[in-house]
Amino acid sequence: MYFITPDVISESHRVYGITKIVISNKFGFVVDFEIDKGWDNNMNHLAIMNKKKKFIEMILSGEKTIESRWYVNKISPWNKIRKGETVWFKDSGEKVTAKAKVSNVIQFDNLTPSKILEILKLYGKEIGFKEDKYEEWIKSCSNKHYCILVFLSNPKSVEPFEIDKTGFGISSAWISIENINKLRK
């Protein structure tokens, strides 16, 4: 049996329920191992939406069942969201008004115009895009390298509440946090 004390842990991080620990001791030995604790599904995510597009209304009506994010770089929620977690929704400049459970997540990298078109053909309707706008969307994503699709289930309206994004960046459009109450004003 080994006892691990904090002074020997040189690195520790958690991705998808796997805690990876790198240990070095006074003799210079390095042990690198992973502990699978499972996923606790306690993460909450705040998605800030474009008010003009009325996506929250579409989510609540069941017309939009996938939230998509298209990025130049790997930013939240890339590798930070899993099935069973909760996504809270607010329109930009407004209060949080809805939430939904995550039923699946798919991530795409190395986007090309043909790959974007394929994603749109497969999931465009559920994302909330109209087919006659696909070419326009492909052009607007020409500089994007990553796409994440968050499949939503059980959408619900919630009692509206304000948030405080201090510390998350003024232009953050997605925030991943253990407890949504930490964002409540």
Q: What is the pLDDT of residues 71-89, one digit of tens each?
A: 999 999 999 999 999 999 9
Look at residues 152, 151, 176 and name the one whose alpha carbon lies nearest to residue 45. 176
How far is the C-alpha of 69 from the C-alpha of 89, rounded, in Å?
A: 14
CATH class of 44-182: mainly beta
Cα 70 from chain centroid (whole Å): 11
Residues of the chain within CATH 2.30.130.30 domain(s) are 44-182
How far is the C-alpha of 52 from the C-alpha of 71, rounded, in Å?
A: 20
pTM listed for this prediction: 0.78
Hey, which residues does 28 pair with through a beta bridge? Answer: none
Structure tokens at 150: 């968050």
- Could you read off the pLDDT of 79-131 as tens digits, one per residue? 999 999 999 999 999 999 999 999 999 999 999 999 999 999 999 999 999 99
What letter would DSSP give residue 132?
G
Please give the pLDDT value at position 41. Answer: 60
Q: Strands 18-24, 44-49: parallel, antiparallel or unpaired by DSSP?
A: unpaired
